[in-house]
Amino acid sequence: MTLPRGLSRRDILLKIGIVFNGLVGAVLAIPIVRYILSPVTRGRRPGYETWLSLGSIDQFPAGQTRLASYRNPMANPWDGETANVACWVRHIDGESFQVFAINCAHLGCPVRWFPQSSLFMCPCHGGVYYSDGSRASGPPERGLFEYTFKIENGRLLTKAGEMPTPGSSAGIYGTRPPCA
């Protein structure tokens, strides 16, 4: 093989090495750059504080508690069904609602609503809650976690992006006193 004029084998290998190292450096720099720019890019994505729609308020008849779901605002497109999070909506009357996290305040199992007894029951260790989410019996030390909500254009919106911390004695937003 004839080398280009003025270039030694050593020069060529050196240039190939520089290009190769540059490529590796660029690949390694991608996550660092993404981390540095994350406050900017995160600002464009919906976050914990986003109001999430639970659907039309007509879906929740007064006096009933119904299952609803929202899309986790921190989800990635590839999360699929796992980003759909269930919650319980209690329509008291008029514009008075309660939106409960589905997770038991003990260790986080999904609680079920039993309209026959007007109780939420946890299948894991027998935790029971009254219809207003307050603790009735069992191992949970507090009532169900409750999300803030608002009604806008006939739709029920909630700030449910922040996941509850089972076992915590404080409400998600500190607005709900611990239920004994």
Residues of the shown chain interacting with ligand FES in the complex, contacts defined by CB under 6 A: 104, 106-107, 109, 122, 124-127, 138-140
Cβ contact 167:141 at 8 Å: yes
In angstroms, what is the minimal distance from the CB of 67 to ligand FES? 17
In angstroms, what is the minimal distance from the CB of 172 to ligand FES? 17
Burial of 71 (0-12, 13-18, 19+ CB in 10 A): middle
In angstroms, what is the minimal distance from the CB of 169 to ligand FES? 15
CA–CA separation, 47 vs 155, rounded Å? 20
In angstroms, what is the minimal distance from the CB of 84 to ligand FES? 21
Indicate the residue among 54 and 111 with the shorter CB distance to ligand FES: 111
Edge to edge, the sheet with strand 52-56 lists: 52-56, 155-158, 149-152
Indicate the residue among 106 and 176 with the shorter CB distance to ligand FES: 106
Indicate the residue among 52 and 111 with the shorter CB distance to ligand FES: 111
User: 């989410």: which residue's tokens?
Assistant: 133
Secondary structure of residue 143 in the 3-state scheme: coil
Indicate the residue among 101 and 122 with the shorter CB distance to ligand FES: 122
User: 């093989």: which residue's tokens?
Assistant: 1
Indicate the residue among 92 and 107 with the shorter CB distance to ligand FES: 107
In angstroms, what is the minimal distance from the CB of 125 to ligand FES? 3
Task: Kindly give, in sequence order, each residue whose CB lies less than 8 Å from that of residue 38, ignoring residues fewer than 6 positions away.
Answer: none
